[in-house]
Structure 1
Amino acid sequence: MGKVNYAAIDIGSNAVRLLIKSIDREAVQEKKIKKVMMLRVPLRLGFDVFSIGELSEKKADKLRRLMKAFRQLMKIYDVDDYRACATSAMRDARNGRTIIKKIEKDTGIRIEIIDGQEEARMIYNNHIECMEDRLGNYMYVDVGGGSTEINLLTNGELVWSVSYNIGTVRMLSNAVKEGTWQQMEEELMKVTEGVAAINIIGSGGNINKLFRLADKKDKKLQRLPVSSLQTVYDVLKPLTPEERVEAFSLKQDRADVIVPAAEIFLKIAEVVHAEYIYVPVIGLSDGIIDNLYAKSLEKEMKAE
């Protein structure tokens, strides 16, 4: 069996992504997986959901049209298998399941609403395989538009995993429930008590952008000192989203969410006393494809 093309559709609270990767089963390890295309569309579903509790007709229609387009792109790129996952916004939307049924009927694309724990597992599983140094204690933090997934990893093993309804779009919509921050802080303090030298592995588009904006960082290790993140945050915070677009060439849909994302990372870093945030360029889409590939290998082994 030669090349297999896999696609991942990640329906997030801020953006919707289509990632297509080609896996050459006969190639040597490092050339095995190639990114064929990545498309990110800022549908910003969370702004509807976290303010009115459901997706508006307009947003639902845009999502349906986008899935039609993704369907065509997957045909053009000869995709063998795909998985479409929706996260926090669709989990919270009153009409989420109805919309998903309609989309499947209209486009043939089956969307699964996954919970925070599965989302977290898919992301950190993918990253663990990419980590050269698995020793030590890491807090794996994925900040999304609707939720933040946190996992404690010790020497590459998952010790603790939790999802909190604290996300960038949710914060901008003033929809984070009172007490959720305190709950996160208390649980983090409890789980890290007596755990030495914890650093953070950061995931999500915002931390990648914050890393690029920081002056002091270790590019070779993809490592951002928490003090540098604080400096970037202090510069961005007083500016309006329009001023951030102008000064730092940010996309409009990044300029507003980047500040609450920095706040979430800084809060977690403060609680767990982290000095650094490692910033690998890996997200849920990569995790979905990794998962599809692993399942196909499993099937083959069973067939043998």
Structure 2
Amino acid sequence: MKIRKFAAIDIGSNAIRLLIHNVIEEKGKKTQFRKSSLIRVPVRLGEDSFTVGEISEHNEERMLNAMKAFKLIMDVHGVEKYMACATSAIREANNGHEIVDRIYEDSGVKIEVIDGKKEAAIIASTDLKQLIQNDQSYLYIDVGGGSTEFTLFTDGKIKVSKSFKIGTVRILNNLVGEGIWKKIEIWIKENIQGLSKITIIGSGGNINKLHKMSGRKEGEPLSYIWLNSQYHFLESMSYEDRVSELGLNPDRADVIIPATRIYLSAAKWCGAKKIYVPKIGLSDGIIKTIYHSEQ
């Protein structure tokens, strides 16, 4: 038996995450991927990038400190390989590439700025395929702070995938017009033509939290009816009550509402009644990408 350690750094618009996995290789057996550690820091880069067009000095310092800390944690864990990916907030910031260069110089952490297409491809390399049955159609939705990736699976394969500039941080800052919602509706309706029942698979911190709040068991889907009622319940509460009474983290208590709206809208447009929440995302995909690049 050989146990290796790989790490993924996901620099998103709402938070920065470090995921460390034990990769267990045993002759004659399927390789196992087991989560060893997950650290999430609430650095909301999208609030800078999407409103003023660049990352503030304050958040640049926080991001640099996070990378220095992550580097030390990876060293302590004995991580063999890592990959750090930055998505829409850094991609769209005027000083994004400058910050990435500075972080590499000051921390030694090399960051790759990826586009929506590559983000969707990395996510698709996760264990998603284990959920997907060949005789059914699925709309996979990954809601982030700055962008949302939609991937349609039919006959067990990816039919089409698209990234839209709609995300929780953008919506909170009133940066998403009705036009973008309409574009998503048209894209979904055009691509599901001729397909029978569609099931949604959702990923991202907000849908994971909603699933936990529902009390459902792992693998048990959320219903459209429950999600819709939860949306109205959350919307009826003040931000302060969502933090104090529901126990939501301060940086989750606001973004959870726009995230729920994205899932509900997509479900309505494709006629989905169920949303499966496998609790996987970009970080998991990065780990698999590192591993499979060696094979």
Shift of 1:221: 3.2
Kindly provide the CA deviation profile for residues 220-277 of structure 1, in whole angstroms up to 9, marking residues without a partner as x.
5330111110011010012121111122111111000000000000000000000000
Q: 2:222 aligned to 209, 224, 231, which one? A: 224
Partner of 1:18: 18
Partner of 2:89: 89
Q: Which runs of 4+ in 1 moved over 6 A?
A: none
Give the Cα separation in 1 of the matches to 2:129 and 2:160: 18
Paired-residue identity, %: 44
Shift of 1:127: 3.1
Give the Cα separation in 2 of the matches to 1:184 and 1:10: 25
Give the Cα separation in 2 of the matches to 1:36 and 1:129: 23
Partner of 2:159: 159
Does residue 294 of the first structure (1) align with residue 292 of the second (2)? yes
Kindly provide the CA deviation profile for residues 141-183 of structure 1, in whole angstroms up to 9, marking residues without a partner as x.
0000001000000132000000000000010011124511111
Does residue 272 of the first structure (1) align with residue 270 of the second (2)? yes
Partner of 1:209: 209
Q: 1:260 aligned to 258, 261, 272, which one? A: 258
Give the Cα separation in 2 of the matches to 1:177 and 1:229: 23
Distance 1:203 1:65, change over 3 A: same
Please state whether the residue corresponding to 1:252 is helix, strand or coil.
coil
Partner of 1:193: 193
What is the aligned-residue RMSD (CA, Å)?
1.6
User: Matches of residues 1-304 of structure 1 in structure 2 within 5 Å?
Assistant: 2-26=2-26, 29=29, 32-131=32-131, 133-214=133-214, 217=216, 219=217, 221-297=219-295
Give the Cα separation in 1 of the matches to 2:117 and 2:256: 23
Structure 1 residues not aligned, in runs of 5+: 298-304
Q: Is the 8 A contact 1:245 1:255 kept in 2?
A: yes
Please state whether the residue corresponding to 2:82 is helix, strand or coil.
strand
Give the Cα separation in 2 of the matches to 1:259 and 1:65: 30
Please state whether the residue corresponding to 2:236 is helix, strand or coil.
coil
TM-score (norm 2): 0.96
Give the Cα separation in 2 of the matches to 1:208 and 1:47: 22
Aligned residues: 295
Please, which moves more after superposition, 88-97 or 159-168? 88-97
Please state whether the residue corresponding to 1:150 is helix, strand or coil.
strand
Q: Is the 8 A contact 2:132 2:138 kept in 1?
A: no
TM-score (norm 1): 0.93
Give the Cα separation in 2 of the matches to 1:214 and 1:21: 27
